[in-house]
Structure 1
């Protein structure tokens, strides 16, 4: 008797580590997810600037939680503060009750506020996201002035709740929604894509003149607003630093007209721009500062700090359940003190200048780089179509498809960078303030290689990693 043995079916290849997690995320999470689309990885460990995926690959993280991780991932100072708080038995949630941890955080925060601002200020603890602190600041000034409306700027990003979204400039996230409140949109000085078509100091001067004359024009259509809100460096808007002279002019214009000035320091705070707070570059003193991200030491925390003359709220005028995050306060206090003590503010300025200089040299070699700009370790690289005709300012059309190819080429080379700005054509670099010289060189080498490869590959092709 002959027995025929059928050949065994070849075993299906084992799924890549983390692939099941990614598949379940795609199925279960909303279509609004963002970073998960850009970076299809499953981080399992992280230390400093290094993130390790489930597949064992390591990446240098130049996103840093969108600027949240001033000290990088799992810094020993942060972990020690969290462990100490946990081991102490301190309550982790107490609404807005007084605690030793909150008191210590407030001491650390006020000790580092800009000179002339902290001496006569109050702090309000908000819900754990920056957008709620923006809402609080706008509501505060409406209460104090008895007025409605706000002055905001092109390119601005202030959050995704109703009031914050109203003063945000990005049309794409506003389009499906009903009217966004009484907001007058003013031109932000964007040298490379000047709203007046002239660029440079002349463009900033025109932005000042336009603002001043519009507000003083009895037929200009602008009812005196409750506040002006701005970013000293626009982050999501494409890493666009405001000229110091323009910021001083906005402070003068608002002060002369009795309009409170709110500065959104959610992404720029705690040393990111080479100053503890971005307003310090210009020397202005705002009426209110909105703070989040890095002040929580990697954990959710948001506050608004404002001059005490505006403290006209009634109890409960702006409240929320998660205003008492004890762990975030402990981690945030430790982070702010470490940044100040270790000179990381100054280091951010030095390393940022080094990165910017190297990238500008690369721009001279690669015409797909239209502009390199930023302040400290908040840097943007705008990618353009080098074959298109330049406008009157010498700028060329944005190249969003190229930007996507560069981002993917960076990921293939073990580098995490995200996009922003008009048409998502700006590579945004937000490395931790603790980045080493060796890591700086590695970031620059990988980024340069990725831009070269993506530019050479052309549309429809994605460059692979180097061996």
Structure 2
């Protein structure tokens, strides 16, 4: 080890020690990724110790174009150099007008034609709160319909419609929420899987809502994700999405689709609802729409625009830099066909992961859409359930994550028991980078599953 290398390691360790002593115990990513990033470009992150990593977390899906994309940096520099105000509450600015135009150009046509947008606080959870409040105001109702496996945020209302009990247990109930079964092919709530499982989910929803003794008052809204991200990368079948739209429309229930993680090309379409062709009543958007900077909005049908001035406000709704970066990102994704590229690369990666599943029995399921992929790890020695699914193996998943990091690959976990490896590479990932990701991931899974380090690992 050279003196320079030793100094770099000492500096990194000092930063990590200070973070550990000063930050709250709620920190998450810092626990499993002991990295101090100093530079980043595209898909590559360099730590203070000089190590380089391929980033398949992408800011939890925020970095659609990867780190420090030239289009984003140019938009930020141009805005800074222009002297434009960086903070103007919700006043009209040229940057807001440009972002709104780019956003509306990207929305499904039948939806954009009659849409309004509300700028929220900078996080997706506030946009969820706004959407729920909007529909409660418009309908005069309070109850909400949400799904098993859902994740919508960490504030009170968003947490109430989130499915993960682990983050809810210490807290009081956040309101009247009816929990419905989300179609999860590998771990079907009805024990049948496939199309039949999705059909039963839709039938259950419809019959429950129509049952006068079902205990469900007419709700203010249904909220769902077209692909559950934190829930384990579980894509909803397109036919099921269409059924949810039919069921809600026929009963006058507003349908809110949370596109915080699935939007801006991530799933192989600009917006995940486009796969099924449905037009929701509201879409919740954040993460990638800010071009790596904090920005969140709710876009909704103008019929529901019944708020009084100040009904949902917030100090940081006028993030000029995020609007400039977001407009540039949305237009670049459209101009370069990056959603279509995500579909193509995602299909190739899925095919190779399926081959890996056939060779490694610890891989129970491979699923996803576009560049939103999940690999569920299981105990192959355990008895399968009625759908053929074996118990999740969170300890193996944690070992694989660590083995990936040692090979210069950043992946995070999610899903039930944190046993799903989640791949969220930037839409700009090259073919060579995709192969490198899969090589490193394959080595890491094999090493973690067998306890044998791969000789001459590919990191």
Task: Give TM class, smaller chain.
Answer: over 0.9
After superposing on structure 2, the runs of 4+ consecutive aligned residues of structure 1 that deviate more than 2 Å are 12-17, 461-467
Provide the rounded CA distance (Å) in 2 between the counterparts of 1:336 and 1:242: 24
SS at match of 2:368: strand
Does 2:440 correspond to 1:446? yes
Provide the rounded CA distance (Å) in 2 between the counterparts of 1:328 and 1:466: 37
Does 2:384 correspond to 1:390? yes
* Structure 2 unpaired stretches of 5+: 1-5
Does 2:385 correspond to 1:399? no
TM-score, normalising length from structure 1? 0.96
**Partner in structure 2 of residue 8 of structure 1:** none
**Partner in structure 2 of residue 137 of structure 1:** 131
Residue 28 of structure 2, aligned match among 28, 34, 48:
34
* Structure 1 unpaired stretches of 5+: 1-11
SS at match of 1:319: coil
Q: Decide which structure has the larger Cα Rg and report it.
A: 1
Provide the rounded CA distance (Å) in 1 between the counterparts of 2:78 and 2:457: 42
> Matches of residues 35-434 of structure 1 in structure 2 within 5 Å?
35-434=29-428
Provide the rounded CA distance (Å) in 1 between the counterparts of 2:138 and 2:407: 52
Do 2:9 and 2:49's aligned partners in 1 also have CA atoms closer than 8 Å? no
Q: Deviation at 1:465?
A: 5.8
Q: Deviation at 1:37?
A: 0.6
Provide the rounded CA distance (Å) in 2 between the counterparts of 1:419 and 1:181: 29
Alignment length (residue pairs): 454
**Partner in structure 1 of residue 3 of structure 2:** none
Provide the rounded CA distance (Å) in 1 between the counterparts of 2:316 and 2:7: 46
**Partner in structure 2 of residue 7 of structure 1:** none
Q: Deviation digits for residues 339-387 of structure 1, max 9, x if unmatched? A: 0000101100000000000000000000000000000000000000000
Change (3 A) 1:13 1:61: closer
> What do you get for the CA RMSD once the two structures are aligned?
1.5
SS at match of 1:18: helix
Provide the rounded CA distance (Å) in 2 between the counterparts of 1:169 and 1:465: 38
Provide the rounded CA distance (Å) in 1 between the counterparts of 2:130 and 2:298: 7
Do 1:192 and 1:199's aligned partners in 2 also have CA atoms closer than 8 Å? yes
Q: Deviation at 1:464?
A: 10
